[in-house]
Amino acid sequence: MIRMTLAEVTHAVGGTLHVHTPDTPETTVSGVVDTDSREMGPGSVFVAKPGETTDGHLFVDAAVEAGAALAIVERRLDAPVSQIVVPDAVAALSDLARVVVARVRAGGELQVIGITGSNGKTTTKNLLARILQDEGPTVAPRASFNNEVGAPVTMLRVSDHTRYLVSELGASRPGRIAELAGLITPDIGAVLMVGLAHAGGFGGVEATQKAKTELVEAVRPGGVAVLNADDPRVAAMAAVADTRGVSVRWFGRATNADVRAEDVEVTASGTTCTVVVGEQRLPLRLRVLGEHHVMNALAAITVAQVLGVDPAASVARLETVEIAERWRMQPMGSDRVRIINDAYNASPDSMSAALRTLAQITEPGQRKVAVLGAMSELGEQAGEEHDRVGLQAVRLRYERIVVIGTAARRLYLAAISEGSWDGEAVFFETADEAFEYLRAELRDGDRVLVKSSNSAGLRFLGDRLGESFS
C-alpha cells in the first residue's frame, strides 16, 4: 500500500482511531493490507474480518507478532497495536482501496483494467499480467482473488510506481460487480462470456448477463469495453457502452472481431492458432491446454493492444506461459498416465470444454477417463446440467466415467442411462474411495481429466493422482 498516516487511513475508512504508544495520528503505515494474519510483515495493516467459521479478531495478536502496525477492527481489543474501530471491516477494506487507487491514479500513470465473465477470468488475468509485466510495474490478483475481500486486497497492493492494475471481478449476487468496479472506475472493462456459472445465485442466465453488464456500466467515459464478439449476450453490451461514451474493441473467432483466431488446433502439448490483427497474422502456440483458452488469450491481447502493446509482443510473451493457474488444466502425472487437474472450478461451459479438450488430445489406443464431481451454484438448473455432462461424456466415448459425491450422482445416472452401464461409469461417495479405484484401474496410455467445482475438493484428488503416477 502507499504510505499513509494513521489519521489518513482513519478518514478513508470512516472509523475511530485509538493509537498505541508510541504511535501518533501522524505515524505512517505502508505495508501489506490483508485479512490473513499470515500475510503480515513490518508496517502492515491487519483487517479483522469476522467469518463464518472463525473471527479475524482472534488473530490480531498473531498479526502484531508478524509485524502489523495497525489493526482495523469492529470492536476495540486489548492488543499492543494502534486500532481503527469501524462498523464493518469488509466495507472499510473497500473504502480504503477506493481512496488508495484514486490517489495513485491522480499522481501517476496508473491504468486500471477490470475483467469479468462466467468463465476464464483467472486465466485471462494471468495472461494479461504476463503481457503487461514487461511494460511496467503490474499488480494482479493472486489465485482467484475476485470477491468483496480478494478484489480490494489486490487493489491495495498498488504503489506510487504501479503502471497497471488488473482486477478480476466475480459476482456472488446482483450488484456485486458494480460495487467492486465502482472502487476503481476501470479504464478498460473486459467481459469474456455469459454462461451458467453461478446462475443459481442470480435466477438464470439473463440475470447473469445483467450482472456482467455492470462492468461495462462502470467503465469511465472515454474508456474501452473489450467484448467477446462470439457471445451474443456479451455483444449486446456494446449498446450500453455506447450510451456511456465508452468505445468497444472486439475479440473472438468471428470475422468482425478486431483480434481474432483462425486455424485453431488442440494438441497434447498445447493449443496453436493464428492471431489476426488487421494485416498482421501471428502464429501463437499456447502451452496452456484447451481450445477454450484461445479466447482468453485473445481477450488479453486485445486489452494489451488498447494499452499500446504490439500484438506481436503479446503473442511472444503468452508463449512463455506454461499453465493458466494451479488446478486449471494443469498437466500432472507422466507420459505413461497423464492427469489433467482442472478441478478448481466448474460450470456447464467449462466442464464441456474440458471434456472436449481431453478427447481432442487423446491418441488412438489411449483411454479417456473422466473423474467428475459436482458443479455448484446452478440452482434449479443443476439437475439438467449434470445430466448434460453425463450425456456428453458418453457421447465423447470416454472409456471410464468416475463420478464422486452425492451432489454429482445425477451425472452418473445420466451416463448409465445413455449406455455406460457395463462398468464404464462408476460412482463413489468419497474421493478416497475413488482414489483407491483409480490407482488400481489406471494403466499405461490413460489420459485422465479431474474436473469439479472447488467445493467438491477434487483438486486434491488430482494432486494425489498426479503424484501417484509421476
pLDDT per position as a tens digit, 86-134: 999 999 999 999 999 999 999 889 999 999 998 899 999 999 999 999 9
pLDDT band for 173, please (50, 70, 90 cuts).
Answer: confident
From the list 356, 416, 363, the residue with the least C-alpha distance to 386 is 416
pLDDT band for 42, please (50, 70, 90 cuts).
Answer: very high
Looking at per-residue confidence, does 379 or 399 come out higher? 399
Given the C-alpha cell 499456447, which residue does it identify?
A: 286
- 119 is annotated as contributing to ligand binding: yes
Q: Where in the chain is the domain with CATH 3.40.1390.10?
A: 4-87
CATH class of 108-318: alpha beta
Helical segments of 66-198, H only: 89-107, 121-132, 150-155, 176-182
pLDDT one-digit tens code per residue, 284-305: 999 998 888 999 999 999 999 9
Q: Where in the chain is the domain with CATH 3.90.190.20?
A: 330-468
pLDDT of residue 424: 92
Report percent pLDDT > 70 for the chain: 98
181: Cβ–Cβ under 8 A, 6 or more apart, which residues? 114, 167, 169, 189, 214, 215, 218, 219
- 123 is annotated as contributing to ligand binding: yes
Please tell me the pTM assigned to this model: 0.89
460 pLDDT higher than 80? yes
The distance of Cα 164 from the centroid of its chain, to the nearest Å, equals 18
- 117 is annotated as contributing to ligand binding: yes
pLDDT band for 257, please (50, 70, 90 cuts).
Answer: very high
The distance of Cα 332 from the centroid of its chain, to the nearest Å, equals 21
pLDDT one-digit tens code per residue, 75-87: 999 999 999 999 9
pLDDT band for 207, please (50, 70, 90 cuts).
Answer: confident
From the list 355, 363, 393, 349, the residue with the least C-alpha distance to 267 is 363
207: Cβ–Cβ under 8 A, 6 or more apart, which residues? 174, 199
Per-residue pLDDT, averaged over 236-246, amounts to: 97
Across all residues in the chain, what is the average pLDDT?
94
pLDDT one-digit tens code per residue, 312-348: 999 999 999 988 778 888 999 999 999 999 998 888 9
307 pLDDT higher than 60? yes
330-468 homologous superfamily: Mur ligase, C-terminal domain (3.90.190.20)
198 pLDDT higher than 60? no
- 120 is annotated as contributing to ligand binding: yes
58 pLDDT higher than 90? yes
Q: Where in the chain is the domain with CATH 3.40.1190.10?
A: 108-318
pLDDT band for 202, please (50, 70, 90 cuts).
Answer: low
CATH topology of domain 4-87: 3.40.1390
SS3 state of residue 433: helix
The distance of Cα 446 from the centroid of its chain, to the nearest Å, equals 29
Give the CA dihedral 244, 250, 251, 253, nearest 10 degrees.
140
Least confident range from 140-144, 198-202, 420-424, 439-443: namely: 198-202
200 pLDDT higher than 60? no
Laid out side by side, the sheet with 68-73 consists of 16-18, 82-85, 68-73, 44-47, 33-34
| Contact of 128 with 166, CB cutoff 8 Å | yes
Given the C-alpha cell 479504464, which residue does it identify?
A: 187
199 pLDDT higher than 80? no
Per-residue pLDDT, averaged over 359-375, amounts to: 95
429 pLDDT higher than 90? yes
Output the nine-digit C-alpha cell for 453.
467445482
CA distances from 316 to 113, 131, 133, 141, 320 (A): 21, 9, 13, 22, 7
